[in-house]
Chains A and B, each alone.
Chain A
Amino acid sequence: MASAYEPWNEARGAEIIAEHDKLEGATLVILHAMQEAFGYVPEPAIPMIASALSLSRAEVHGVFTFYHDFRHEPAGRHVLKLCRAEACQAAGGDALAARAEAKLGISIGNTTADSRVTLEPIYCLGLCATAPSAMLDGRVVGRLDEARIDALVAEAQR
């Protein structure tokens, strides 16, 4: 699932918009589709979405910035999300998060200098009975311990 994203391309952007612009309340659907194609929501996509949906540019920008999921710029090659919510805290998640930060040399919310790994917080993956939990590029991982987090970090660095 590692990034095989297309570079931004206006024609492709227009195509994505055309696929969804007839839906009721399509803004989030289109933003998701943009991010799925390009790995982030490229700036030039915003006015295109606005004009297709007869919204102001500010409105679409406002939606884009409201939600934690949408990226302004490409993420690293791999995205490792660590659950930081209560059930994972109770199961020792804080120490494992610190361990991942130390191994990668970055704090949560950042990307390594070589652009390989983006480390992000996530607030509950619904895997709270097999906590602590993480998600690597869309793959869920539970029952994390030191060995398993080390293996995940190593996999993300590859």
Chain B
Amino acid sequence: MKMRIFVPRDAGAIAVGADEVVAALEQAADKRGLPIEIIRNGSRGLYWLEPMVEVATVKGRVAYGPVSPADVPSLFDAMASNGPHALRLGLAEEIPWLKRQTRLTFARCGVIDPRSVKDYRDHNGYKGLERALTLTSDEILADVTASGLRGRGGAGFPTGIKWKTVAQASADRKYIVCNADEGDSGTFADRMIMEGDPFVVIEGMTIASIAVGATKGYIYIRSEYPHAVAAMNAAITAARRTGYLGEGIVGSSHNFDLEVRVGAGAYVCGEETSLLESLEGRRGIVRAKPPLPAHKGLFGRPTVINNVLSFAAIPFILDNGAKAYADCGMGRSRGTMPIQLAGNIKNGGLFEVAFGITLGELIDDVGGGTASGRPVRAVQVGGPLGAYFPRALFDTPFDYEAFAARDGLIGHGGIVVFDDSVDMAKQARFAMEFCAVESCGKCTPCRIGSTRGVETIDKIIRGERTSENLAVVEDLCNTMKFGSLCALGGFTPYPVLSALKHFREDFGPAPATLQAAE
């Protein structure tokens, strides 16, 4: 019998040698005259073990990793004989790091062949859509609302309410737009799901189109993600071929088609109105709201715009019921969050878990501390606009409101870990610099304030009139916070002020009275 071997096509696995491992496996099979079938699955998200190779056995899939091409000859023999090997991890599904997760959105990621509609269907795919096709728009909206799902792109706005607004708007056309700009450093969940389970995104968008009465959708993917672009395009083609996109979806009277559009390296285009401008072929200048995209979005039509993970959560909710989703979580943060552990971390990767787990559990237990082995000093949660937290705040539960209460945000769920070699003045400077480089230019506080911020922090780093200049930085932050149209200018103060507040010692000698910024 042919050995069935799984090697991820995920960009994160490719970046550490997955393609070379595939070539070595093919060579080893040739040499031994043993037929094999290689399936390029997605990643399961245990990145320190990538490339993680799995082989199908009667007991389930046995995993090995991290595999280098040099390991392949011995690995091949171990797989063929089901014998011992230094890289053997046991049954993939039993790996504790994976087993302790609650994988609702990522249930299939790393399991199936992301190019096969059949594989998707064999793993509960399209059941949510099938049920949605038997429901009225109001019933779908009720389910999404009852699930408690909040947008996973950062702002945490209730998805059901957004959809309802679009459903109630009347227009000749409506659009569904998927925000796959994923610009936040330390985040990669959108990329992983697009590469590892693209049909779940398509299914979620299709359900949205039925709920609000839209016929056309766009997926706006950042240009830094060529593998995700290829994976989504392949999946869209396969979905069209099998009747899951196009006219009369699976025999219904509903039409819906999708198109991928590629960004061009502008962080601000992740902001929803800037993204819509960009999709319309213009500069990504942020629009003032109102009007909301739900009323006047793409080409002036009512538009649902959601993050990739928001759409990807929908099929589970429709298939298993709103309650099954809402049963996970804490407070007003319902369901699960695909958390991304990144930076200087031992066990980095994607950890999907119900809201409520603490930052400390995530970093110390799940993440295993730093990769460098040095103490964790700071973690930035929520991307470049997120706050830096010290160990003293590690008891914060992963929950929208709990983070906000501590002047932080969970954003898109990325956590970047820094060890004790980090210089927090440098990180604060970077936050300002990033804002200056990426500002769309519409608001003075964002455009000019961030540039002044860089200059002023430079003075502090040089030791020039520290306390006066710190006061200037605080002042600039206040102006940016209250005088910016969007969260680029408005939230850049989070990383800056948190660095100042929690790591004051990195900003030069402190006068005894200076209290950290609020």
Binding site for B on A (CB under 8 A): 24-29, 31-32, 53, 59, 62-63, 66-70, 85-92, 122-131, 133, 135, 138, 140-143
Please tell me which one of the listed residues B15, B417, B422 contacts residue A130 in the complex, with CB atoms under 8 A apart.
Answer: B15
The verdict on B217 contacting chain A, using a C-beta distance below 8 Å, is no
C-alpha spacing A31/B208, complex, angstroms: 31
Task: Let me know if A128 and B348 touch, CB within 8 A.
Answer: yes
Stretch at the interface among B54-62, B336-344, B455-463: B336-344
The verdict on B12 contacting chain A, using a C-beta distance below 8 Å, is yes
> 4 other contacts beyond A85-B384, A86-B430, with CB at 8 A cut-off?
A91-B371, A126-B12, A126-B182, A135-B224
With most chain B CB atoms within 10 A of its CB, the pick from A32, A122, A124, A140 is A124
C-alpha spacing A66/B268, complex, angstroms: 11
Stretch at the interface among B101-109, B258-266, B288-296, B468-476: B258-266
Task: Let me know if B267 and A70 touch, CB within 8 A.
Answer: no
Question: Known contacts being A31-B264, A86-B186, A141-B15, is A25 close to B280, with CB within 8 Å?
Answer: yes
The verdict on B314 contacting chain A, using a C-beta distance below 8 Å, is no
Closest Cβ neighbor of A85 among chain B residues: B185
> What's the least CB distance linking B233 to chain A, in Å?
13
C-alpha spacing A67/B438, complex, angstroms: 10
Please tell me which one of the listed residues A67, A128, A131, A135 contacts residue B187 in the complex, with CB atoms under 8 A apart.
Answer: A128
The number of A-B residue pairs with CB atoms under 8 Å apart is: 154
B interface, over-half SS: mixed
Please tell me which one of the listed residues B12, B190, B430 contacts residue A129 in the complex, with CB atoms under 8 A apart.
Answer: B12
Task: Let me know if A143 and B16 touch, CB within 8 A.
Answer: yes
Task: Let me know if A87 and B343 touch, CB within 8 A.
Answer: yes
With most chain B CB atoms within 10 A of its CB, the pick from A28, A122, A129, A143 is A129
Task: Let me know if A124 and B343 touch, CB within 8 A.
Answer: no
Closest Cβ neighbor of B195 among chain A residues: A126
The verdict on B11 contacting chain A, using a C-beta distance below 8 Å, is yes
Closest Cβ neighbor of A81 among chain B residues: B224
C-alpha spacing A140/B13, complex, angstroms: 10
Closest Cβ neighbor of B192 among chain A residues: A126
Contacts of A141 in B (CB 8 A): 15
Please tell me which one of the listed residues A29, A131, A135, A138 contacts residue B261 in the complex, with CB atoms under 8 A apart.
Answer: A29
Closest Cβ neighbor of B264 among chain A residues: A67
Question: Known contacts being A69-B265, A123-B434, A129-B348, is A53 close to B281, with CB within 8 Å?
Answer: yes
Closest Cβ neighbor of B262 among chain A residues: A32
Task: Let me know if A126 and B225 touch, CB within 8 A.
Answer: yes
> What's the least CB distance linking B239 to chain A, in Å?
20
Task: Let me know if A87 and B281 touch, CB within 8 A.
Answer: no
The verdict on B48 contacting chain A, using a C-beta distance below 8 Å, is yes
Task: Let me know if B12 and A130 touch, CB within 8 A.
Answer: yes
Task: Let me know if B226 and A138 touch, CB within 8 A.
Answer: yes
Task: Let me know if B282 and A27 touch, CB within 8 A.
Answer: yes
Task: Let me know if B264 and A126 touch, CB within 8 A.
Answer: no
Contacts of A133 in B (CB 8 A): 15
The verdict on B14 contacting chain A, using a C-beta distance below 8 Å, is yes
Contacts of A129 in B (CB 8 A): 12, 47-48, 188, 340-342, 345, 348-350
C-alpha spacing A25/B299, complex, angstroms: 9
The verdict on B302 contacting chain A, using a C-beta distance below 8 Å, is no
Sort A-B residue pairs by CB-CB distance and give the 9 closest, nearest first: A129-B348, A27-B281, A90-B343, A142-B15, A67-B264, A85-B185, A128-B342, A25-B281, A68-B265
